[in-house]
Structure 1
């Protein structure tokens, strides 16, 4: 059964539930979702179901909300025009290309103007799948839905190794799905070479607050081991909230005395829940696209559901030196101008002080999870181009490569060297 069929079935059960009924997820008994009676307006839109969870109003459908969605394309167009005008003149950093500047302005406009009164509508927007035909050539995507284990395998068509990357997608714990980040996972598989990747579809709020995602990550780990996958052949990976889950899973495995993976590749991991007082959060606001404090506070409250924000399983920044010392080798990527830089570097520094093997790569001039900006820079190899660039490869092969790798691609090259080093897969 596909992931989409599982999700559609769950949505259908939720829509059929009577008003004011408490729905308990069978796979995670602690996950409770309260659905309330809605207005005629909200009933007209399937993605606008009114609901609340522990006092959080998750949807407020109205004519104003609809107008906000109708105006969103206008805001995106304005952001695109602003980025194009400024991008053609000058850039604050030499690593910024014109297309990158345009994309950054569009992402900032999207984060600033998307109507957040209805969480479900925002989730529908961010859960959109990345079409598989545009992935780099030589890759196949296969969906998995086995009980609570859901996600996607991204595999080379000529797989000749058991090396496995277990990837946790980002999205502030609340947004996006595995299929949303098919491109970044595909790029990693191509860049690392000789491995496959399982992109995990972990449960998310409002149905599944903490520790549901972490519990599911442990289930995925045990599911892999049951298929005779050896821990030393596995590297955990993730971006943003997914990087948080990868670190939390390592700490959970450590606490239970289980055998650890060979290492972890972390792209801008979210290691501190509310980093608003940090230096980078205050100074890099105009260079990044995640500077919406109200939205972050809402998502953190929904995810933690009352859990301690300084628990290392919630915020790995607060892991003890004893916990950090026992971690496997870590490769951490951080954007030079991202707002979470102080927290991420603080975690890396504490881990190094605890004698943990940590490799930190700073992408100069780059924002949060800058590997998502692959479209703004040509890859160093034509084999890493999306399939939609076939005409470019055929007609203009000399234009499909770059002598100087942008931070996006240089970071992946550094990650490749890490995973194939003697301490990890070498």
Structure 2
């Protein structure tokens, strides 16, 4: 259990929310043992059981968070200096990697905060999860008034805990007793955090949702333990012998002979272990989990089936709709992030982003995966209609070819190679 000191700045410290967030993060990052043991209270000695887990939380979350499957195209409308400064910010903050992780955590936790920060003479980006953050907001959740970040320290001792308290006017650092260690005016004149939600909030800042995925994860882990227990203790026949006194420890190996009295008997009794039923139950849980979270059942099936590109497109229709909604949300978050990047950067850096600079974001088009045969047929049909040429196909297959002139030169080179090979043959 986490340690949560109460200081006067937190009106209602929601420890249950924080512990639930920590639990989800642990399950996502393959820390399952303690949570699985809590599910095995029916056993007299659960710690003696063979534990097992399949991480369906990570599998589902990574498939649902498709916004940053590929880095978006970001265009700064401003001066050459603005473009150069933002390119440096993207590189130093590892923006694509951080936002991809932030989008996954948002799917998992429903509410996450991100914060641009000036660190080691360059811009960086922090992802803050609900297990160590408290917030106060105004009339709407998007009106952040105060953010309190719990800093746990390196050793995890209660006396190491400090609190960073941000408002638009001040930054205050307090220790675990509430004693002020530092208090300065906020140089940014606003709370330098962006709230990222999995869906648009109505009234509550910390969004609900996702309990079904966590419940199914724990249920699958529990059934896997049951399966291993059955395989170990009930899947084998039990030997028996009758009519021979003192034969309780008799061992019979393949090829050995045993002398029995006239009325003696020797055999094995098969236990009817529910192995098939247990495996079917696990498989069904996986499929139900996928479907209820907007994923095709085949994405978590233990019996993968080869699908055509059209079939995949149909089965992923709900996922595509979710992705379109996510793109609109994250387009807004990126613009807010750009504005706070500008504020923080301009306070600390001599190279400024101008006030008139704006950012536009173009997320990639998620194309269905189709077989080479289907792709070739589609290209032939489009060429026959006069919609595309072979130059377009070359540029699609090789994004590193930037111009149509280079693509045409590449085609000419291929034709010359084929001609040379044909003449040699």
State which structure, 1 or 2, has the greater radius of gyration over its C-alpha atoms.
2
TM-score, normalised relative to structure 1: 0.26
TM-score, normalised relative to structure 2: 0.26
